[in-house]
Structure 1
Amino acid sequence: MEEPQRARSHTVTTTASSFAENFSTSSSSFAYDREFLRTLPGLLIVAEIVLGLLVWTLIAGTEYFRVPAFGWVMFVAVFYWVLTVFFLIIYITMTYTRIPQVPWTTVEDVIWCIYYGLCFNGSAFVLYLSAAVVDASSVFPERDSHNFNSWAASSFFAFLVTICYAGNTYFSFIAWRSRTIQ
């Protein structure tokens, strides 16, 4: 005679790891720092993005590969444009506050003032200045006036974005200096 099969019970226990819990957000609201764009450094960053975009698109729309010096200008313009957009998004959305293990009040001041402010803006100022000089010295009249006009305009905008990075470097230095004195 066959024995009837007993019903088997399965107990499944699920747990959330503390790692996953710590990185989840407590609310689904989107954080946005509207006031930052109203400050002078915020406006300078927006100007850096717009003017930097003009620099590399004006060159990219030409036959810039015929003049090797424009490779340097393109590298500097695209590199700092991408990083500036990245830093603006990170700062405006306050994404850095989504990781609660880090003491953001302290780290934010250090990162923003020293790393972003002095290192990033200072290096952008120096490299953009060199790229603007290379850009201006590489512009020469040719039969195709489109290339000449685009290269001359990119040179003009390269000097403007250099001034913006210099301004942000100055404001970052002032902010860093005021924090070190306290």
Structure 2
Amino acid sequence: MAATTAQPMSSLPSGLGVCTTAPDIFYLPELVFGGLVWILVASTLITPPNPLGWVMFVSVFCFVMTFLWMVIFAAGGHRNSSGWAAADFAYHGLAAFFYLSAGVDLAYITLLVKPLNSRIYHIDIAAVVFAFVATLLYFIHTILSSIRWKNF
């Protein structure tokens, strides 16, 4: 029988445990897919001037906050407090909701505008897909964080 290094769901990880425990293993994929949404939306030009401001806000806000959240957890700033477990659940739930609304907005604008340049259209479609993947990752993280909070 193999030994496991995973921590129980009743404690918060610190150090490299952030990269190996159940809900926290999603930090890096959330950063990757959120960053891709940010880059792809920023690389296209859509007129009227600012229909995707909400999408950019969500992608930048969630990227920065997830990075800070990961650093706080890795540094052990949570001190294994149940308040941090609740805050982790609340943040990831809010981020999942934000990304869902941003993905729907992005899909609507992409279908509405449909630029003549197919390259830009394909970039927008990729951004929509990555926004919904980020939504799924944040939603799964929310579910697992709620289980950890309940077991705390």
Same fold (TM over 0.5): yes
Asked whether the 8 Å contact 1:65–1:71 carries over to 2, the reply is: no
State yes or no: 1:126 paired with 2:97: yes
Q: The residue matched to 2:44 in structure 1 has which SS?
A: coil
**1:42-98 Cα distance to aligned partner (Å, 9 max, x none):** 22111100000000100101114636331111111111111001111121133x27x
Measure the CA separation in 2 of the matches of 1:168 and 1:132. Answer: 18
Asked whether the 8 Å contact 1:132–1:155 carries over to 2, the reply is: yes
Structure 1 regions of 5+ residues with no counterpart? 1-31, 98-103
Q: % of aligned pairs identical?
A: 30
State yes or no: 1:175 paired with 2:144: no
Matches within 5 A, 1:150-161: 150-161=123-134
Shift of 1:176: 1.4
For residue 84 of structure 1, what is the aligned residue in structure 2?
Answer: 66
Measure the CA separation in 2 of the matches of 1:118 and 1:44. Answer: 13
For residue 43 of structure 2, what is the aligned residue in structure 1?
Answer: 61
Structure 2 regions of 5+ residues with no counterpart? 1-13
The one-letter amino acid paired with 2:108 is: S
Measure the CA separation in 2 of the matches of 1:43 and 1:162. Answer: 15
Q: The residue matched to 1:139 in structure 2 has which SS?
A: helix
Measure the CA separation in 1 of the matches of 2:94 and 2:46. Answer: 24
Question: TM-score when scaled to structure 2?
Answer: 0.82
RMSD: 1.8
For residue 114 of structure 1, what is the aligned residue in structure 2?
Answer: 86
Asked whether the 8 Å contact 1:62–1:146 carries over to 2, the reply is: no
The one-letter amino acid paired with 1:62 is: T
Q: How many residues align?
A: 137
Measure the CA separation in 2 of the matches of 1:138 and 1:67. Answer: 12
Asked whether the 8 Å contact 1:67–1:138 carries over to 2, the reply is: no
Measure the CA separation in 2 of the matches of 1:71 and 1:65. Answer: 12
